[in-house]
Amino acid sequence: MPDIKRIFIANRGEIAVRIIRTARALGLETVLGVSAADTESLGAKLATRAVVLGPAPSKDSYLRVGTVIEAAKGTGCDAVHPGYGFLSENRDLAQACADEGLIFIGPSPDNLSAVGDKLTARSHAVAARVPVVPGGTVETLDDATALADKVGFPLLIKAVAGGGGKGMKRVDDATSLPAQLDMAMAEAEAAFGDPRIYLERFVTVGRHVEVQILSDGDTILHAGERDCSVQRRYQKVVEEAPAPHLPPELRRGLLDAAVRYARHIGYRSLGTVEFLVDVERSEFYFLEMNARVQVEHPVTEAVTGLDLIALQIAIAEGKPLTLTQDDIRPSGHAVECRLNAEDMAQDFRPSPGRVTQAWFPALPGLRVDTHMQPGAMIPPYYDSMVAKLITWGATRDEAIARMLTALDVCVLDGITTNAPLHRAILSDAAFRKGGVDTTYLGKLLAGTGENA
């Protein structure tokens, strides 16, 4: 496979800027596909060239496979990087790249098929001897009632094609099952055009821990784990690496299971295998595999010194990994806070607008991934994340202290952000202790946590 010379970036925001930064370091040209709302974005200014994909709504621009392929070929690109979100795990885009002689900087269409459907991904986990949460598919209320009798309450209903918490419902008893089932199927149909759902036993005290995978098709390595348990409505808010207070045996089991899963499906690229850790049982279960770069990849980079985007590009070029597992030695601790343009006082309502001042000073151990600049317009059409603050420290306490300093001195004026939420989390004794579960943030916001 030939070396890549010019990459078409089919994405926007901070991940587009992140990809451009590594591409520049590698001596590669970049073409950024933008919507009409992003023509003056920082990514458009930093890329070698920017081309308009279509109007502001993502369905008319960032989500059009044919338009992306046409733009990539028309600008002389030899590869397409999809970033995360949008078309990043879209099998049709990966196949179209293969058909048109473009390198897709991601896994193969077959890999995407293997992990894109939650039921298929779950069946691969079973075949790879990776534990899964007890549960199964249901089509009718009778199916759901029978499975609930076997698994027990509480249950979690999930959309087969789902993500981001859409179509996901908790069911605490049999009387609420019919209504929750109907709502989950309706949400799944509306959000994904696929009403299929399945039930899983709800893990009352669970941690969300994921493992970073690197594979060239022959060598499969892990780059340690990340803890993503601080979530609001199933959306990650704070991530850290490594996962604090994870028993060594459990950590080894997670890492081995992730590699085993990737090997079973013949995975090739950068990827993340996500697990739910049952704290009460000291067990872990497979959740899903994300066949792309993750939003939270910088915390892994901070503790390992790796450039995951550079490795992802090299793998796409067909180059073998030059690393061994022993070469990857995580050091210290890293924390990431997702800064979103949203108003906590208005139930986290998105807060689009124009940034009047953007100032991110250089501080020891601080990295800022952002597309913000003075005068930047945050449109109402896309995800509200405006920056990621990443801090590294020799210890977890040092990383947290550096993050609190960063939150105090970094400036984004003209918009409302969730910075106060991050200050509250990082100052909270339960978080500082480490090892919080996925119910932590809901309790903190409701004032029912241990410090309420």
Catalytic residue numbers?
292
- Is the Cβ–Cβ distance between 250 and 282 less than 8 Å? yes
Phi, psi of 301 (to 5 degrees): -60, -40
DSSP secondary structure letters along 303-340: HH---HHHHHHHHHTTPPP---GGG----SEEEEEEEE
For residue 39, what is the DSSP state? T
- The contacts of residue 13 (CB under 8 Å, 6+ apart) are 41, 43, 371, 382, 383, 385
Q: Is the link from the previous residue into 242 a cis peptide, with omega within 30 of 0?
A: yes
Quote the CA–CA distance of 233 and 188 in Å, as a whole number.
16
Quote the CA–CA distance of 232 and 234 in Å, as a whole number.
5
Q: Which 3 state secondary structure label does DSSP give 164? A: coil
What are 277's strand-pairing partners? Answer: 207, 284
Please choose, from the candidates 226, 448, 220, the residue with its C-alpha nearest in 3D space to the C-alpha of residue 334: 226
